[in-house]
């Protein structure tokens, strides 16, 4: 197979190797070094897809990421939507097809790895074109720590697209020497195929390295596919070049209409002739290079159409020598053709008026309206832009600390100027960092820049077709036209941000790289205001699309968030536990026996704890060791009740409130010594309460001699619960007198098991006789197994969090955060007994006296019993009340409160619930209603304690 | 992502820090003597200036120390940080 539009020689492709790829079902040849776009053009294919709204044929209009048209879907080797043919490196076996604007996500899992690397440098240079290379060389020669990142497959930028000589050799040879020099500096990191896509505060830049995409199926499995570089630079040099700007005219979207610079790139870099007969339409000198180069390569250049009245005298002469006709003071007003341009309509253009025109046959129409500096990274870091009237472009308008812009990104458009600017900016950055420049920091000798004729700023050619800009395309990907902008302006929109959203211009994959400044210009023209006043839309990361998989990196699946497991986790898994997530913890929810669902398992587990003995892995409870001479003072200030009166060896339940008087946590406190307490928090409150304690100690009471340390991970906790728990504990710890007299409720004892220290505490979260067993996690499994063994005669039953919740709810014990929501005081929970009247102050006390906290209609915790003894009320259900006449009040029906916890009780043989109800304690005995699936279920309001309200069971 | 200079650890990534609101709002010496309005001002009211603001920050994923920062709420720029035992900073 041969490619009809491939040049005989030249380009940066490897002609010795032919690779086959498939596009739209057709197998085609290409070479290593091609992009999909260059290979398609080499085979004579311009059209890639049809447009998203209008279905118009669309082709390749640029040579890199600014291309608005050539979106493809990759099918092989891995399905990926919405890639640009111009940036997709060709590889063997690539299968792709053109996309009408919308892609399709892969329906197979992505098996590739993605990762991230942090990197710190003195100087980061973005872009390895002439300015970037000059800057990187200058920085590297100083010995500074440098990173150079560039988005293309090889360094060089625009140097690969021309015919310039540097230091007397072809520019690509100079690039190779520069890259080799950089590689000899040990402190230089040089990354190609790496797009700096976001620039943030304090020299922080995110860059995406495509490590194996270009290898296709050959990609090694042990190398991450893409890598996000998180670079922190003391100084950043942005040398990202410039994007050529089109001129808008009627039917400017046909395949074969291309930016002039792109044609040069396809010719010199890829050895591709983008056509046979070309018309070049320009407003500035740069497009003449494309006309002359293509002519030299054998393309018949029918005419250079220069919108400037006098054109460019110097370039005209060069064209005439090459036999190219130049039409000055003329414009392209339209095109003919369907799937490919066949004619350019050319007309005189005098004082903004278009004259009578004629059609010139061509299969390639090159366009240049000037150059837009790629100021994206500068602008993302909140650098302000200024409009330059001569260039018709926005330039970096001010200095941003630690950020400088060099070369054509700063509006310098000649090669020698870009090289000098790169070195100048790098040296300024070094000087700012107090780094001496290196010796022999020389610039290559570059061609003397020609003095160009002044460019003309022309956003669009007046529409002579009668369509009022209806097929003058501004954003080809969005099918948005001059008529759309006119409609937006006509609707009264003035802000460029609003016009963007109204027209959708600049919202496609390319984020307006070719259309953005055009929109500002055309809008300003329509509004009759200066372009500076229109400004640009805000530049936001990413510069080019980045896959979510790359941003996620390794933070996927089980690595997304740490999973915390207790020392018994393997045992729980082997026992067939069903787990639930409690914060980051994996906790057994219940242990189903064969054939059991959750409901039957939980009823069985509950019955065991209430009638025999159950055992729970409560190791996730938060534990804070509070030590120091002032430990009791601190706890007195933070708990609502008195802690300092607690005796060593005893345990007290306590409640903590915020300064607003609302409950933030509850738990028990063990006094280990005069100056030492173990504070137990809820599983979810562990980190928060430690923060809370440290905040008060550091910011308000630094004079207190006290230290708080998390010991959650240092102790496992196994509550052994039920009337037979004393038998089990007595059997495992025979040296401990477990009688109520010797070991009363709310006390703790230290003992040992085979020499291992164990702490036992008589704490109950179920109302039953219970012992909590504390031990170092290393001994968790044997201690747990000893307890199970000793409990076997009593049918000891491991239970999970669901049973724990039912048992505590039957006793009316609230879960902070489930039965409370940050608007609930201890009094609302019926815990006035836990609020000290003796202490002069504690956190939250003053708020209890606020009128709102005295309101008798505050929501209070009560129990609910569905009258039908059947319905399990959904948690979160609203509670309503009938009027005296037995009817529901008219809407909006007042809400009395809501259900906070709801379960089926084995003990009560009926479902029950806890709820927060307005003036709830006054309503005990009343019947209220809860809507469940459209039916109003009558429920009786009760006190919150439904099982053993006398507390007779706690001592067994 | 910004760098925040912890007065104990030096510049660290902003994700290591947590915000603690306005600085210089001490817990009242004797809350019991305050009127409801005065107490409500302590509990609920904070300044919200555009520009320089004295704030409490915590290096929560680092040394866990609280410190005071003078920060510009319009530019996000940290102008000064100080330890709690340093003299009170002035905005
Ligand atoms: Zn710190």
A497 phi, psi to nearest 5 deg: -65, -40
Q: What secondary structure letter does DSSP report for A747?
A: B
Nearest to A763 by CA among A694, A842, A666: A666
Of the candidates B3, B34, B85, the beta carbon closest to that of A202 is on B3
How far away, in angstroms, is B62 Cα from ligand 1 center?
Answer: 5
pLDDT at A78: 87
- Å from B60 to nearest chain A CA? 8
Radius of gyration of chain B measured on its C-alpha atoms: 14
Is the ipTM higher than 0.95? The answer is: yes
Alpha-carbon span A480 to A500, nearest angstrom: 10
CA distance A730 to A206: 62
**Residue range A929-944: average pLDDT?**
96
Q: What is the pLDDT of residues A32-53, one digit of tens each?
A: 999 999 999 999 999 999 999 9
Instruction: Kindly determine whether residue A202 and residue B42, on different chains, have CB atoms separated by under 8 Å.
Output: no
pLDDT at A1: 58
Q: How high is the pLDDT of residue A558?
A: 84
Find out whether the peptide bond into A3 is cis, omega within 30 degrees of 0: no
Q: Is B31 on the interface with A (CB under 8 A)?
A: yes
- Record the tokens describing residue A148, joined without a space: 């150079």
pLDDT digits (tens, 9 = 90+) for B24-55: 999 999 999 999 999 999 999 999 999 999 99
Check CB contact under 8 Å for B84 and A699. Answer: yes
Asked if A562 is an interface residue toward chain B (Cβ–Cβ < 8 A), one would say no
CA of B58 to the centre of ligand 1 (A): 8
Instruction: Give A570→chain B minimum CA distance, Å.
Output: 30
Q: With pLDDT > 90 as the criterion, what percentage of chain A qualifies?
A: 93
The per-residue pLDDT for A104 is: 86
Instruction: Note the pLDDT tens digit of each residue in A438-484.
Output: 989 999 999 988 889 999 999 999 999 889 999 999 999 999 999 99
Distance B12 CA to ligand 1 centre (A): 8
Per-residue pLDDT of A846-887, as tens digits, reads 999 999 999 999 999 999 999 999 999 999 999 999 988 888
Per-residue pLDDT reduced to its tens digit, A475-534: 999 999 999 999 999 999 999 999 999 999 999 999 999 999 999 999 999 999 999 999
Q: For residue A309, what are its two tokens?
A: 């009245």
Could you tell me the two tokens for A532? 């500076």
Judge: A660–B43 Cβ closer than 8 Å, yes or no. yes
Q: Is the pLDDT of residue B90 over 70?
A: no
Would you put residue A822 in left (φ > 0), alpha (ψ -120 to 50) or beta?
left
Q: What pLDDT is attached to residue A451? A: 87
Judged by a CB distance cut-off of 8 A, whether residue A599 touches chain B is: no
Cβ A663 vs Cβ A829: under 8 Å: yes
Q: Which two tokens stand for residue A495?
A: 């802000």
Helices (H), A621-724: 631-638, 686-699
| DSSP 8-state class, residue A58 | E
Could you give the domains of chain B?
3-25+32-83 (3.30.2270.10)
Query: Which residue in A338, A337, A341, A321 sits closest to A280, CA to CA?
Result: A341
How many angstroms is it from B7 CA to the middle of ligand 1?
Answer: 7
Dist. CA B4–CA A284, nearest whole Å: 47
State residue A215's pLDDT score.
93
pLDDT, tens digit, 9 for 90 and up, residues A796-855: 999 999 999 999 999 999 999 999 999 999 999 999 999 999 999 999 999 999 999 999
Task: Determine the distance separating the centroid of ligand 1 and the alpha carbon of A697, expressed in angstroms.
Answer: 17
Cα→Cα distances A557→A112, A553, A561, A563, A946, Å:
14, 11, 8, 10, 42
pLDDT of residue A102: 85
Q: Looking at the DSSP assignment, which residues form a beta bridge with residue A392? A: none
Say whether residue B1 is in contact with chain A using an 8 A CB cutoff.
Answer: yes
Contact with chain B for residue A555, Cβ under 8 A: no
Q: Which of B34, B60, B66 sits opposite A699 (nearest CB)?
A: B66
pLDDT score at A449? 84
pLDDT score, position B91: 64
Q: Considering the entire predicted model, what is its pTM?
A: 0.90
What pLDDT is recorded for position A225?
Answer: 96
Q: Note the pLDDT of residue A312.
A: 95
Q: What is the dihedral of CA A33, A37, A43, A44, to 10 degrees?
A: -150
Given a cut of 90, whether residue B6 has pLDDT beyond it is yes
pLDDT bin (cut points 50, 70, 90) of residue B89 is: low
Q: Cα dihedral sign for A99, A105, A106, A110?
A: positive
């Amino acid at each position: 197979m041969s490619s009809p539009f491939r040049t005989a020689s030249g380009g940066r492709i490897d002609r010795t190797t032919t690779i086959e790829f498939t596009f739209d079902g057709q197998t085609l040849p290409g070479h290593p070094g091609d992009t999909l776009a260059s290979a398609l053009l080499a085979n004579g294919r311009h059209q890639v897809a049809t447009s998203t709204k209008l279905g118009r044929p669309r082709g390749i209009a640029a040579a890199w990421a600014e291309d608005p048209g050539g979106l493809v879907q990759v099918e092989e080797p891995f399905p990926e939507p919405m890639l640009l043919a111009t940036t997709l490196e060709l590889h063997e076996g690539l299968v792709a097809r053109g996309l009408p604007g919308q892609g399709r996500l892969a329906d197979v899992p992505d098996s590739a790895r993605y990762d991230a690397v942090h990197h710190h440098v003195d100087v980061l240079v973005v872009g390895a074109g002439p300015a970037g290379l000059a800057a990187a060389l200058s920085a590297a020669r100083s010995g500074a720590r440098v990173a150079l990142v560039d988005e293309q497959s090889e360094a060089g930028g625009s140097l690969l697209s021309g015919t310039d000589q540097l230091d007397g050799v072809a520019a690509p040879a100079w690039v190779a020497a520069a890259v080799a020099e950089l590689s000899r500096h040990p402190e230089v990191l040089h990354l190609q195929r790496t797009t700096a896509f976001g620039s943030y505060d304090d020299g922080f830049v995110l860059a995406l390295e495509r490590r194996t995409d270009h290898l296709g199926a050959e990609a090694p499995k042990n190398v991450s596919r893409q890598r996000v570089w998180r670079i922190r630079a003391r100084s950043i040099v942005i040398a990202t070049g410039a994007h050529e700007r089109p001129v808008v005219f009627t039917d400017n979207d046909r395949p074969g209409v291309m930016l002039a610079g792109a044609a040069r790139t396809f010719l010199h870099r890829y050895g591709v002739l983008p056509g046979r007969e070309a018309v070049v339409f320009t407003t500035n000198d740069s497009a003449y290079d494309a006309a002359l180069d293509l002519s030299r390569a054998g393309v018949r250049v029918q005419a250079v159409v220069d919108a400037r009245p006098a054109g460019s005298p110097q370039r005209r002469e060069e064209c005439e020598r090459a036999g190219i006709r130049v039409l000055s003071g003329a414009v392209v007003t339209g095109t003919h053709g369907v799937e490919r341009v066949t004619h350019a309509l050319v007309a005189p253009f005098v004082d903004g008026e278009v004259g009578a025109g004629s059609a010139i046959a061509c299969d390639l129409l090159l366009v240049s309206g000037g150059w837009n500096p790629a100021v994206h990274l500068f602008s993302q870091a909140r650098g302000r832009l200024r409009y330059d009237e001569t260039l018709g472009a926005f330039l970096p308008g001010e200095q941003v600390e630690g950020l400088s812009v060099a070369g054509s990104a700063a509006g310098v458009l000649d090669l020698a100027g870009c090289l000098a600017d790169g070195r100048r900016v790098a040296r300024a950055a070094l000087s700012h960092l107090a780094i001496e420049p290196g010796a022999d920091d020389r610039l290559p000798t570059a061609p003397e820049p020609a003095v160009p004729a002044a460019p003309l700023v022309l956003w669009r050619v007046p529409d002579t077709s009668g369509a009022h800009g209806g097929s003058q395309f501004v954003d080809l990907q969005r099918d948005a036209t001059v008529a759309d902008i006119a409609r937006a302006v006509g609707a009264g929109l003035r802000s460029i941000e609003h016009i963007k959203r109204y027209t959708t211009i600049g919202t496609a994959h390319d984020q307006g790289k070719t259309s953005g400044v055009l929109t500002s210009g055309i809008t300003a023209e329509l509004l009759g205001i200066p372009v500076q006043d229109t400004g640009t839309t805000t530049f936001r990361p990413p510069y080019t699309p980045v896959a979510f998989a790359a941003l996620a990196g390794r933070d996927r699946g089980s690595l997304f968030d740490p999973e915390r497991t207790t020392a018994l986790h393997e045992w729980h898994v082997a026992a067939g536990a069903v787990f639930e997530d409690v914060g980051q913890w994996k906790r057994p929810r219940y242990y189903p026996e064969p054939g059991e669902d959750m409901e039957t398992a939980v009823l069985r587990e509950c019955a065991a704890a209430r009638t025999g003995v159950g055992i729970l892995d409560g190791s996730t409870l938060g534990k804070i060791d509070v030590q120091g001479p002032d430990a009791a003072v601190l706890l007195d200030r933070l708990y609502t009740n008195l802690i300092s009166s607690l005796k060593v060896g005893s345990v007290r339940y306590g409640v903590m409130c915020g300064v607003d008087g609302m409950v933030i946590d509850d738990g028990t406190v063990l006094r280990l010594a005069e100056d030492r307490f173990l504070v137990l928090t809820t599983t979810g409150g562990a980190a928060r309460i430690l923060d809370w304690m440290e905040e008060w100690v550091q910011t308000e009471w630094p004079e207190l001699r006290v230290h708080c340390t998390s010991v959650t991970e240092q102790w496992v906790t196994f509550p052994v619960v039920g009337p037979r728990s004393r038998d089990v504990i007595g059997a495992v710890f025979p040296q401990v007198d477990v009688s109520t007299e010797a070991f009363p409720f709310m006390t703790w004892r230290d003992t040992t098991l085979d020499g291992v220290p164990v702490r036992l505490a008589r704490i109950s979260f179920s109302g039953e006789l219970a012992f909590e067993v504390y031990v170092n996690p290393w001994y968790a499994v044997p201690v747990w197994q000893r307890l199970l063994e000793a409990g076997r005669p009593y049918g000891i039953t491991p239970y999970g969090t669901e049973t724990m919740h039912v048992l505590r709810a039957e006793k009316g014990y609230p879960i902070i955060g489930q039965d409370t929501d940050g608007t609930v005081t201890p009094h609302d929970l019926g815990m006035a007994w836990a609020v000290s009247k003796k202490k002069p102050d504690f956190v939250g006390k003053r708020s209890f006296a606020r009128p709102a906290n005295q309101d008798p209609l505050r929501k209070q915790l009560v129990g609910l019993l569905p009258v039908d003894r059947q319905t399990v009320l959904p948690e979160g259900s609203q509670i309503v009340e009938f009027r005296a006449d037995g009817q529901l009040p008219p809407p909006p029906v007042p809400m009395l409160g809501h259900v906070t916890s709801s379960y089926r009780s084995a003990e009560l043989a009926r479902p029950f619930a806890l709820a927060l109800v307005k003036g709830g304690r006054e309503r005990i005995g009343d019947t209220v209603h809860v809507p469940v699936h459209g039916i109003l279920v009558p429920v009786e309001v009760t006190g919150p304690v439904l099982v053993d309200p006398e507390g007779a069971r706690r001592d067994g | 992502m910004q760098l925040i200079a912890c007065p104990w650890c030096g510049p660290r990534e902003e994700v290591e820090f947590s915000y603690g609101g306005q600085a210089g709002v001490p817990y009242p010496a004797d809350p019991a003597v305050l009127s409801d309005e005065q107490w409500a001002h302590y509990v609920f009211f904070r300044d919200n200036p555009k520009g320089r603001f004295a704030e409490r920050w915590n290096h929560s994923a680092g040394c866990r120390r609280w410190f005071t920062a003078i920060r510009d709420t319009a530019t996000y720029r940290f102008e000064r940080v100080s330890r709690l035992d340093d003299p009170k900073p002035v905005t």
